[in-house]
Amino acid sequence: MSERVVTERSSVLVRLRTSWPSVAGVAVLLLVLLVFPVFAGVAYLKAGQYVLIGVVGAVGLTLLVGQAGQLSLAHPFFLLVGAVSYAVLAGDSGDSGDLVGLGLPPLLAVIGAVAICALVGLAFSPVSGRLRGIYLGVASLSLVFLGLYLGQSLDMLSGGTSTGRPPPTFDLFGFRFANSDPAPTILGVAIQKQQRLWYLFLVLAIVAYLLARGAVRSRVGRAWRAVRDNEAAATAMGVNVARAKAQAFTVSSAFAGLAGVMTALWLDLVKPDENEFIGTYSITVAISYLAMVLIGGLGSIPGAVAGAVLVNGLPQVLTLGATEFGWSIGTLSPVLISAFVYGAAIVLVVLFEPGGLAAIGRRLTTRQGDR
């Protein structure tokens, strides 16, 4: 890293003075996100929802990759487990009665799906606790292949590759996240299914963000960073290294599981992929999540958000541009362009700015006087 900004703020006064602009910034951002459904059409809302899914998944992955120093390519597997678990827990047995569905209340099903992903992640401890860094990355690839196989063979859970199964409509104490008549309105705009899902996803993303940030600043985060930086020193300070690694993997799996539930609701479909290299739960997705956390700056929670906006947002924006404004992108599909952009971004970040967007952001916001 070329230069390091060292901030020494001892007095509370200084801290307050430097933090009020960021407090104001957060307030403005929140306000914009809250009124987004008012001025944005359904296509924009879908794009925004997709970014929020990325935020939840990327925040979880940056805890593992950036904070604990463990690489994982298994994120799509946990997306799949989360999506299928939600459909199974909240769903019914389908029209022909050949699906497993427990018919639980959707809120309970979401919590259950996240818990199942955490447990599956925990069950991977013998591997995730023992392998280091990149080796875990390769070992975790096995889960993607396993997920592909299980998704294809356990039709009664996943709905199978041909039709999949519909995820049950989410509802919260009787308030359904679906279109209704009459619908409540905000500033004259009807709050229908997509608007409701936007708010749901926004809340989930904020919860994920705050949980991760709290954890990073606490005992757990310190233990993870210690394991990442020096295992012998972490051990000497009382950290059980294998447990800390397994814990980070478990937590990251749970976040991915939540992102999986969100993916199911977003697509309105749970359907396993037909092959391992392209699809909703494929290796391509694993790489796009890695791209998010790397571009954002390893270990940085705001960075993961920025990475998700770039990696998940770009194809959506390009698609919108093509459909709404008639942007011409020739034979290049939005997905392809985005892949080029984030592929190049990965290379550039490693070569020139290992701290990613987070480091760039820090430099921009750090005032000269603080140097």
Angstrom distance (rounded) from CA 89 to CA 80: 14
Q: How many CB atoms lie within 10 A of CB 277?
A: 10
CB of 355 vs other proteins, minimal distance in Å: 9
Q: How far is the CB of 357 from other proteins (least distance, A)?
A: 15
Q: Exposed/middle/buried for 163, CB within 10 Å: 0-12, 13-18, 19+?
A: exposed
Taking the complex as a whole, how short is the minimal distance between the CB of residue 208 and other proteins, in angstroms?
9
Residue type, 300: S
Token pair belonging to 6: 């060292």
Residue 355 DSSP code: T
| Token pair 């919260």 in the structure block, residue | 172
* Residue 93 or 163 with smaller CB distance to other proteins: 163
Between CA 195 and CA 212, with CA 267 as vertex, the angle to 5 degrees is 75
Does residue 136 contact residue 70 with C-beta atoms inside 8 Å? Answer: yes
Given the complex with other proteins, which of 92 and 362 has the nearer CB atom?
Answer: 362
Six-digit token pair at 147?
A: 């997920």
Compare residues 265 and 357 and give the one whose CB is closer to other proteins: 357
- In single-letter form, the type of residue at position 281 comes to Y
Angle between helices 106-123 and 75-90 (to 10 degrees): 140
272 backbone dihedrals φ, ψ, rounded to 5°: -65, 155
Helix (H, G, I), strand (E, B) or coil at 205: helix
- Residue 320 Cβ vs other proteins, minimum distance, rounded to whole Å: 21
Of 106, 234, 225, the closest CA to residue 166 belongs to 106
- Between residues 124 and 198, which has the closer beta carbon with respect to other proteins? 124
The number of residues in the chain equals: 371
Between 162 and 331, CB nearer to other proteins:
331
CB nearer other proteins, residue 53 or residue 248:
248
Nearer to other proteins, 69 or 303 (CB): 69
| In the complex, minimum distance from the CB of residue 131 to other proteins, in angstroms, rounded to a whole number | 5
Closest separation in Å from C-beta 56 to other proteins: 14
Closest CA to 200 of 258, 255, 158: 258
Q: Which is nearer to other proteins, 45 or 226 (CB)?
A: 226
CB of 86 to other proteins, least distance (A): 21
Write out the two tokens for 76: 């799509």
Kindly state the smallest distance separating residue 279's Cβ from other proteins, in Å.
11
Rounded CA separation 306/292 (Å): 8
